[in-house]
Amino acid sequence: MASNTEENYLKALFQITIESGNKQEAGTNEIAAHLGVKPATANDMLKKLKLKKLIQYEKYGKSSLTKAGKKIAIEVVRKHRLWETFLFQKLAFSWDEVHEVAEQLEHIQSKKLIDKLDAYLEYPAFDPHGDTIPNAKGELNITIKKTLLEEEVGHQCKMIGVKDNSASFLQYVNKMGLSINQTIRIVARQAFDDLLEIEVNKKISSVSPKFAENIIVECAICNKATKA
């Protein structure tokens, strides 16, 4: 069983590699910076994780997850995102409050708990930030985060998250009648000032490009999801 700290390293490596850039590896300093520890500390841990066969690592080289390490990393990500969804949907936490608490909850060890939580939330596909939630088998749909700004005119999409987590933006979002899972239809894009006309709940309104690029959407029509 991996310790909380080991889980954090595996998650960091996963996020730096698979999620962010597309190279399947990360340097010691990069990992250390991501976790807020010194390179010397990360170095110790990388050697330990290698011994446990959770990562591949050679002196002076980059690190990458083994199959076993990736499995653990994805489980942690799954727990993190399910807890965020729980906090947001059931306990009325705001977007910007969920992450910190989920950092703690993601280390609770109980397969049963997380699978029951998943069922209780009705198997959500996305967390409140619009990130994909891996399923119980560890399958993760890596959807390219698409924003409302990029959505095509005429298409109907679903809001699945936000990029900006500031209270002011979230209030603005609420005022526009938008929330997670809300259906949005793109009515038109004004060439003159780039304003986007959208239809929400049968009401048409206009939003700025700046606003639109902070709304994450999913579109059944132009979906190009891939399995990881």
Partner DNA sequence: AAAATTAGTTAGGTTAGCCTAACTTTTATA
Partner DNA sequence: TATAAAAGTTAGGCTAACCTAACTAATTTT
List residues near a second copy by CB under 8 A. 87, 90-93, 97, 100-101, 104-105, 108-110, 112-113, 116-117, 120
Q: How far is the CB of 83 from a second copy (least distance, A)?
A: 10
What is the C-alpha separation between 174 and 166, in angstroms, rounded?
12
Nearer to DNA, 52 or 210 (CB): 52
Which range, of 39-47, 67-75, 123-131, 177-185, touches Mn ion by CB under 5 A?
123-131
What the block records as the tokens of 123 is 């198997």
Q: Where are the beta strands (DSSP E) in the chain?
A: 55-56, 64-65, 141-142, 146-147, 156-162, 183-189, 196-200, 203-207, 215-218, 226-227
Backbone angles phi, psi at 203, to 5 degrees: -110, 135
164, interface contact from DNA, Mn ion, a second copy, none, CB < 5-8 Å by kind: none
- Which 28-47 residues touch DNA, going by CB under 7 A? 28-30, 36-41, 43-47
Q: How many CA atoms lie within 13 A of 105 on its CB side?
A: 18
Q: How far is the CB of 49 from DNA (least distance, A)?
A: 9
As beta bridge partners, residue 56 has 64
Q: How far is the CB of 116 from a second copy (least distance, A)?
A: 4
Name the residues that contact Mn ion, by CB under 5 A: 99, 127, 129, 131
